[in-house]
């Protein structure tokens, strides 16, 4: 009987943890807090997860699956507005799991499993997809790049998105708000500016100016 109910309780724990981690910060929430929020005993929670890091691992897997699904399904951008919306979509996914990016290094340092999952996700999944996106933008003539530039830009895009929540919350000395997504999108797209083809520069600069007004 208990085994039959496991998936529901299992997912309730993950969903509640995500909500609490996002709202209060991962460091402020213990497994006892999660159990109390759900109205279950700590022993019931430990039946499904041995510790908090196991919950975080499952949330990272859920995040990575959602981001990959978005990147695979999103239509390749063909103009400046589409590029802006494409990047906003990335930040939308990350916003839903923002606790992961507010103190990521601390979580990685205490969990070898999470570190391995993160590094594999970055190298095997994200990096090639970002380079492919930049290749597509090059192919349509929106940006002028070579292979070296695309590889370097892909790394820099990932670095900004990965650490943006931590940077933004520190800069504004407050809890993150959804405005952070627009600031992050603007900052990420500045990496494209030196490579934008002359025919698109005016349009790109206008889009960036409009985006900056939303922050």
Query: Between the CA of residue 121 and those of 87, 115, 116, 129, what are the distances in Å?
Result: 19, 10, 8, 11
Q: Are residues 94 and 174 in the same domain?
A: yes
Closest to 95 (Cα-Cα) out of 190, 183, 7, 2: 183
Query: pLDDT digits over 28-82, tens only?
Result: 999 999 999 999 999 999 999 999 999 999 999 999 999 989 988 888 899 999 9
Q: How high is the pLDDT of residue 3?
A: 44
Number of domains in the chain: 2
Q: What is the mean pLDDT of the chain?
A: 90
Query: pLDDT digits over 183-203, tens only?
Result: 999 999 999 999 999 999 999
pLDDT band of residue 7 (cuts 50, 70, 90) is low
Q: How high is the pLDDT of residue 206?
A: 95
- DSSP output for 100-125: GGTSHHHHHHH-HHHHHHHHHIIIII
Q: Are residues 87 and 185 in the same domain?
A: yes
Q: Are residues 93 and 3 in the same domain?
A: no
Q: Are residues 112 and 89 in the same domain?
A: yes
- CATH code of residue 10: 1.10.10.60
Q: Which domain holds residue 1?
A: 1-50
Q: Are residues 6 and 106 in the same domain?
A: no
Half-sphere exposure of residue 109: CA atoms within 13 angstroms, side-chain side: 4
Q: Are residues 46 and 58 in the same domain?
A: no
Q: Are residues 44 and 125 in the same domain?
A: no
Q: Are residues 3 and 89 in the same domain?
A: no
Q: Are residues 37 and 71 in the same domain?
A: no
- CATH code of residue 153: 1.10.357.10
Closest to 156 (Cα-Cα) out of 210, 192, 129: 192
Q: Are residues 41 and 122 in the same domain?
A: no
Q: Are residues 108 and 196 in the same domain?
A: yes
- DSSP output for 48-84: H-SSHHHHHHHHHHHHHHHHHHHHHHSPPP-SHHHHH
Q: Are residues 67 and 81 in the same domain?
A: yes
């Amino acid at each position: 009987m208990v085994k039959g109910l496991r998936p529901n309780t299992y997912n309730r724990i993950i969903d509640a943890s995500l909500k609490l981690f996002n709202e209060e910060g991962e460091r402020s929430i213990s497994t006892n807090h999660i159990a109390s929020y759900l109205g279950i005993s700590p022993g019931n929670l430990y039946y499904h997860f041995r510790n908090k890091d196991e919950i975080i691992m499952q949330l990272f897997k859920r995040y990575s699956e959602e981001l990959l699904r978005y990147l695979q399904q999103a239509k390749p951008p063909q103009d400046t507005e589409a590029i802006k919306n494409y990047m906003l979509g990335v930040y939308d996914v990350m916003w839903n799991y923002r606790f992961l990016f507010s103190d990521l290094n601390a979580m990685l340092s205490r969990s070898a499993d999470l570190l391995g999952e993160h590094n594999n996700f970055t190298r095997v999944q994200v990096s090639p997809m970002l380079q492919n996106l930049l290749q597509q933008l090059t192919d349509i003539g929106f940006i002028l790049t070579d292979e070296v530039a695309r590889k370097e830009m892909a790394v820099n895009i990932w670095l900004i998105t990965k650490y943006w929540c931590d940077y933004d919350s520190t800069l504004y000395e407050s809890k993150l708000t959804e405005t952070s997504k627009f600031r992050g999108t603007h900052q990420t797209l500045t990496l494209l500016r030196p490579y934008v083809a002359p025919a698109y520069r005016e349009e790109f600069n206008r889009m960036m100016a409009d985006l900056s007004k939303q922050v």
